[in-house]
């Protein structure tokens, strides 16, 4: 499968714990996005990478959230001190250069904070 891969698919954690999600984009895609989706809503932009550089970060993203893409390939999204309001589907998407083209989404990681 050469699509966007996300791990884990599901994560249940206790409030206050840290969690980390991983995204492996399609190999030739230099653009990588993280979105969050809650029930009945569209995907909400969180952050954007072009290669290893994080170029955009939503104001919705509190200091508890951090994302990296160290070698311009896979990316990780970490949430520290999780809160119940963090429960959502976290979607990763990638796009090929030169940009402004379709985004290929992964299956997502569903986070439940109890």
Partner 1 sequence: GQQVMQIPQYQHVQEGEDFTTYCNSSTTLSNIQWYKQRPGGHPVFLIQLVKSGEVKKQKRLTFQFGEAKKNSSLHITATQTTDVGTYFCAGPISNFNKFYFGSGTKLNVKP
- Binding residues vs partner 1 (CB under 8 A): 33, 35, 40-45, 48, 50, 55-56, 58, 91, 93, 99-108
Supply the minimum distance, in Å, between the C-beta of residue 25 and partner 1: 14
For partner 1, the closer CB: 12 or 18: 12
Which burial class, exposed, middle or buried, applies to 23 when counting CB atoms under 10 A from its CB (0-12, 13-18, 19+)?
buried
For partner 1, the closer CB: 44 or 68: 44
CA quadruple 11, 40, 30, 47: dihedral sign? negative
For partner 1, the closer CB: 17 or 56: 56
How many whole angstroms separate alpha carbon 3 and alpha carbon 112?
Answer: 25
Supply the minimum distance, in Å, between the C-beta of residue 48 and partner 1: 5
């Amino acid at each position: 499968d050469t699509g966007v891969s996300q791990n884990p698919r599901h994560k249940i954690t206790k409030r206050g714990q840290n969690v980390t999600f991983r995204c492996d984009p399609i190999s030739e895609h230099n653009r990588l996005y993280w979105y969050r989706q809650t029930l009945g809503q569209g995907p909400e932009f969180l952050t954007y990478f072009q290669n290893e550089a994080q170029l955009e970060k939503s104001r919705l993203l509190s200091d508890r959230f951090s994302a990296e893409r160290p070698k311009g390939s896979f990316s990780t999204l970490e949430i520290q001190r999780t809160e119940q309001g963090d429960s959502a589907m976290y979607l990763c998407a990638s796009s090929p250069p030169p940009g402004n083209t379709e985004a290929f989404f992964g299956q997502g990681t569903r986070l439940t904070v109890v």
